[in-house]
Amino acid sequence: MGSTPSADQPVTVVTGANSGIGRATSIHLAGTGHHVVGTVRSLDKAEKLNAMATDAGVEVDLVVADVADDESVATGFDEIMKRTGRIDHLINNAGVGGNAVVEECPSDLYMDVMNVNLCGATRCIQSVLPQMRERGSGTIVNITSVAGRIAALAQSPYVASKWALEGLSEGLAQELAPFGIRVAIVEPGVTKSAIFAKNIDAPNSSDAYETHYRRMFQFYAAGMANATDPFEVGQVIEHAITTDTPKLRYPVSWGGEQMAERHDRISDADWLELGAIEDDTEYIERFRQIFDIDITT
C-alpha cells in the first residue's frame, strides 16, 4: 500500500500501468507531483514498473483491477477510494490489439477486444464519475489510437474498438461539460510498447488476404524503427489534464499527428484507390503521398 495523498495533491488513476504507455505515464505523472495509482491485472507482473519507479525516485501505488471484468473493476476502484478518498484524473490506457480482416475475424475476437478496449474504459469511467460530479471537477483521458481515426489495414477488431471509444469519448465530453469534468482523447501512433511484439497474428485463413497482412506489418515495422518513447505520450497526457486551453483530441507519436491531421482531407476515392493498388512499391509511394509517412523498411 502506498502513501496517503495530501489535500492538494492530485490523485490520478492509470489503467494498464505495468507496461508501455501506462507505465511511462504513471512514472511521469508521479514525477510531476501526482499521487498515482496504477491498475494491474497481477502484482507479480509489475516488477519492471516498480524498478523504473524506484530508479526515477517516485512511488506508484498499485491496485489489482482487470478492466475486462465488472467485479474486478468494482473491487479495485473501491480499494482506490478507500486509500485516497477521491480520484481527480482517470487515464484509460489499458488495451489489447487485434489483427484480422473482416471476412476472417470470428465474432468472439470482436467481443474480446471490445470488452477490453471499449467496455473496460466504460467500467472505469462509471466507477469514477459519481464522485467527480459531486465535486464538480475531474478529468477523463481515453487513450485511443491513430487507428481510432484511420481504419488501419487488417486490424478490423482493433479499429472497431478504437473507433467506438472515440465515439463514446466525443459524446461523453458533451455529457460531462455541465459538471465541470474534462474529457480528452489521446491518439498515439506507434510508440515503443510490448503491445506490438505481442500483436503478431495474421490469420489469413482464406489465403486471400496475404497482401493486406503484409502491408499491415510493413507499416508497423517502419513504425517500430522510428517508434516514439512512451514518456512523450505521458507528457501529452499531463498537458491535457493541466492546460488552461484544453482540446478534445491530442494526436501524438510516430504517424499519429500526420495521419490524424490528414484523415479529414482524404477523399473516399483516394482511400479506395489506395486499397486497390496491387504493387507494393506503388502502394508505399501512394501511402507516402497521402499521409506524408514513409513506410519503407
> Residues with catalytic annotation?
158
Could you tell me the three cell numbers for 89?
Answer: 484524473
Amino acid at 228: T
Amino acid at 207: D
CB neighbour burial string for 73-110, b if at least 16 within 10 angstroms, e if fewer:
beebbebbeebbebbbbbbbbbbbbbbbbeebbeeebb
Query: Do 251 and 257 contact (CB within 8 A), yes or no?
Result: yes
